[in-house]
Each structure stands twice: as C-alpha cells, then as structure tokens.
Amino acid sequence: MEERFLGTGGLRVSAMGFGCMSLSAAYSPPGTQGEMVALVREAVEKGVTFFDTAEAYGPFVNEEIVGEALQPVRDRVVIATKFGFDIDYVTGERRGGTNSRPEHIRAVADAALKRLRTDRIDLFYQHRVDPAVPIEDVAGAVKDLIDAGKVGHFGLSEAGVETIRRAHAVQPVAALQSEYSLFWREPEQELLPLCEELGIGFVPFSPLGAGFLTGQIDENTVFAPGDFRNYVPRFSPAARKANMGLVEVVKRVAARRAVKPAQVALAWLLAQRTWIVPIPGTNKIARMNENLGAVDLVLTPEDLAEIEAGTVHFNVQGERLPEAVLKMTGL
C-alpha cells in the first residue's frame, strides 16, 4: 500500500489507517474479542500499518484488543493512542471532563503500554484540550515521554489553531486528528493551512461522515440501541433527509467510475493533501476491504470538479456532535 508521512519527524504510515473505536463501542454491536483481533490482523495483511485507539474506548478494552492483535507484528505497524479524559487509569472509572495534568499523562502512558503489549507508543495524542492545564505543560510532559523512549511522536485531537501553535513550539506536533469529510469541511478554513505551514500531518476521523457517505443510510434507517448516532443532531431523520443531496453527488461519481460511494469519499480525502491519512473504522471485514479499495482509486480532475461543485456550498443540516460534546471540545 502507498505510504505517507505524518509530520517532519519521519513517522511513516499506510495511506489509509484503521480507526479502532468501533471494535468495542459507538456503532453497531461488535463481534467477539477474538473476531475483532482477527479483523485487525486481516487489516495488517492487506497493508494497513496505522492503527488508532484510545484509553477512552471502552475504557481500556479497545487498547487490549489492539495490543493482542498487533503484538505478533509489532515492528510492522504504527500504534496511536490517546490521553486526556478524566478516567481512572487503573479501574477505568469515568470521572467526567478532561485531565491532562502531567502526572496523569505519565500514568496513562504506562498503563497503555501494558494494555498494548509494547514498549513504546508511536503516536500519543491529547484526546481533548484541557482548559485547566496550559498546553505547554502538556507538550512538555509528552516531550519527557519521548525523551524516555516511551513515546515516538506527539499528536493533538480536536485542537484549535492557537493551541496547536503553542504546543508545537514546545514539542513538534506530528499529527492533528479532527473530523473531516465531505460531510464536515470546516478544517479547510484554518486547520489545513496551519498544518501545511507547520509541517503537521492531518488524520481525519469519521472520514465517511459516520457512515452517511456510504450511501447506505437514509431518513428511514434505524440505528441499533447504543449507537451514538441516535444522539447526534445531524443524524435525526429530518437532517438525514435534508442532507441526502450531498450523498447523491458522491453516488453519481461512484456510478460513473463503477466503485462504491465510500471509496469516492475516501479517495477525495486522499486527493486533498499528500499528508492526509484517513482512519475509517469498522467491525466488518467486507466494509474494511471496501474502504481500503479507495487507496487505488485515483479521481480525475473532472471527478474532483464535479464533487467540488456539488458539495462545497452544500448547507449540511444538524450539528455534528451533541451540544455537551461540542462544549467539551471547544469547537
């Protein structure tokens, strides 16, 4: 598979990564832990080298799945995980809010290393900015972990421009992870230009708009109990109906190219910058194989122009996250 670099520190990953959250939570019920381990190993065999997890996914069980799956091939892959929520790093108790105090970061790193069955975290993200802790202190704590050999590179998730600049001045940021897709193009305004200026890679999560850009969802779709989309304003039946015009653009290009809509949406992201690495997630092998097919899909200038004309001014209905989550992200 094609490889790309995140940041300027030599972090090389597959052009398409694997978002691991759905292995244990958030969407449709996952399979057994053994089935999810097998899925991750199948991704490795298909050329994926970049796997994204977090202590908060579970908590902990997601890192445990990833650790078990990747231990036999550890030197062939790049593992990213995250700190930053106020979770007891021993019991997994969620205490609410954020916690990026340096001592907590160090404890989370040590606990994650054990769950991931490794001696290093290749990319360690701050999951959400902590308003109570100066970002310079956060970057300094990660710098210390890098100097100690426990962490390879520093990342930020859902951070704003000023925060990124301040962090980068203390410890170079290799990657910024934020939502980005044809369903959410706000990063084009400030974040992508900043990443280009500073030499920071960009990792879009939810690159298929939480499944909406696959063309398999409409206003009549019923999500499983526990699926987070049941609580997202953008996925209300009315919003889904209003937003179908966006999907129709993708479907037209997909039909002409004889590919799947999801592959067009992912190929569009890959075409935006050479340092963008999407991390679509799934708990199904067929869907994973479909997503990976996007790496070989080269959209023509005509394809890209049609997508741009049909989507750039589309007024997407519904907030991308519940209000409480939006307040927490500061975005």
Give the DSSP letter string of 91-104. T--EEEEE---HHH
Q: Look at residue 26 in the predicted model and tell me its pLDDT.
A: 74
* Residue 326 pLDDT exceeds 60: no
Q: For the purposes of burial, counting CB atoms within 10 Å of the CB of 45, is it exposed (0-12), middle (13-18) or buried (19 or more)?
A: exposed
Report the share of the chain in percent with pLDDT over 90: 92
Burial class of 147 by CB neighbour count within 10 A (0 to 12, 13 to 18, 19+)? exposed
In sequence order, the β-bridge partners of residue 19 are: 52
Question: Cα–chain-centroid distance for residue 5?
Answer: 16
- Host H or E run for residue 265: helix 261-272
Report how far apart the first and last C-alpha atoms of the chain are (Å, whole number): 34
Q: Is the pLDDT of residue 301 over 90?
A: yes
Structure token pair of residue 250: 């993708």
Q: Given this model, what pLDDT does residue 331 score?
A: 35
For residue range 163-208, what is the model confidence (pLDDT) as tens digits? 999 999 999 999 999 999 999 999 999 999 999 999 999 999 999 9
Nearest 5°: the CA angle 6, 133, 320 is: 60
329, pLDDT greater than 50: no
Total residue length of the chain: 331
What six digits make up the tokens of 100?
């990026």
Asked if pLDDT for residue 74 goes beyond 90, the answer is: yes
Exposure class string for 79-108: b at 16+ Cβ within 10 A, else e: bbbbbbbebebeeeeeeeebbbbeebbbeb
For residue 29, the model assigns a pLDDT of: 77
Q: What 3-state class would DSSP assign to 53?
A: coil
Catalytic residues: 57
Domains delineated in the chain? 3-329 (3.20.20.100)
Q: How confident is the model at residue 322 (pLDDT cuts 50, 70, 90)?
A: confident
Specify the pLDDT at position 32.
94
pLDDT category of residue 327 using cuts at 50, 70 and 90: low
Separate counts of helices (H) and strands (E) for the chain: 11, 11
Q: How far is it, in rounded angstroms, from Cα 216 to Cα 95?
A: 36
pTM comes to: 0.96
pLDDT at 232: 94
Q: Give the pLDDT score at 321.
A: 83
**β-strands 173-179, 151-157: how paired?**
parallel
Residue 25, pLDDT > 80, answer no
Q: What's the whole-number average pLDDT of the chain?
A: 95
Spatial distance between the Cα atoms of 127 and 130, rounded to a whole number of angstroms: 9
Which pLDDT score, from 0 to 100, does residue 94 have? 93
- pLDDT tens-place string over residues 234-251: 999 999 999 999 999 999
User: Is pLDDT of 28 > 90?
Assistant: no
- The mean per-residue pLDDT over the stretch 113-136 comes to 98
